[in-house]
């Protein structure tokens, strides 16, 4: 199989706008993951160009999307939840709707991948390229949790759920 035709069962994507400080946490996290990518996984920096990644979503069975998530916690708080399943007015992934909307562009009848959002509470959404100190400090933990989720999916692909992450879906 040609490299361009290779399919990734598990895909880790970084969402967000790196020009808006903490909004770009997902991109910063996948850049860290790309330095030492987990074996057998695809890691992609998507940013805000979610529609450009539809082909990646088509290939994947499971997706870990790293993003900024406003849920009212302290800046740097890490959240994990299943995309589209836990609608809440108190929790907003800044790019979850774009990601879920992109699934509409998958070929008709194509199975949609399971998506887990791994989010970080932002402190500053304003022009700038650097993450705030609190969000920057959370990036190594986010990277480790993304690897943990991917490893769990490898071990128990049909039965693992986000609730198994340390018994909760919220870290501080």
The CA–CA distances, whole Å, from 44 to 56, 86, 126 equal 9, 25, 24
Domain ranges of the chain: 3-166
| Neighbouring-strand partners of residue 80 | 118
- CA pair distance 115, 20, nearest whole angstrom: 24
3-state secondary structure (DSSP) of residue 21: helix
- Do 126 and 65 touch, CB atoms closer than 8 A? no
**In this structure, which topology does domain 3-166 adopt according to CATH?**
Rossmann fold (3.40.50)
- CA pair distance 122, 134, nearest whole angstrom: 8
Q: Is the pTM of this model over 0.95?
A: no
Torsion of CA 76, 126, 84, 99, to 10 degrees: -120
Going residue by residue through the chain (172 aa), what tens digit of pLDDT does each one get? Answer: 344 445 688 999 999 999 999 999 999 999 999 999 888 899 999 999 988 889 999 989 999 999 999 888 999 999 988 886 655 544 556 566 688 888 888 889 889 999 999 999 999 999 999 999 999 999 999 999 999 999 999 888 888 877 777 644 443 3
């Amino acid at each position: 199989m040609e490299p361009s035709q290779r399919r990734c069962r598990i895909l880790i994507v970084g969402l967000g706008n790196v020009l808006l400080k903490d909004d770009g946490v997902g991109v910063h996290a996948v850049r860290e993951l790309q330095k030492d990518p987990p074996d057998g996984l695809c890691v992609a920096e998507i940013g805000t160009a979610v529609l450009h990644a539809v082909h990646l979503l088509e290939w994947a069975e499971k997706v870990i999307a790293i993003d900024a998530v406003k849920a009212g916690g302290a800046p740097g708080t890490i959240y994990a939840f299943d995309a589209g399943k836990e609608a809440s007015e108190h929790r907003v992934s800044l790019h979850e709707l774009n990601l879920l909307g992109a699934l509409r562009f998958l070929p008709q009848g194509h199975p949609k991948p399971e998506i887990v959002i791994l989010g970080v509470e932002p402190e500053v959404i304003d022009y700038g390229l650097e993450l705030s100190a609190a969000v920057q400090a959370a990036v190594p933990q986010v990277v480790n949790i993304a690897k943990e989720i991917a490893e769990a999916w490898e071990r128990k692909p049909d039965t693992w759920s986000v609730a198994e992450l340390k018994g909760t879906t919220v870290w501080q």
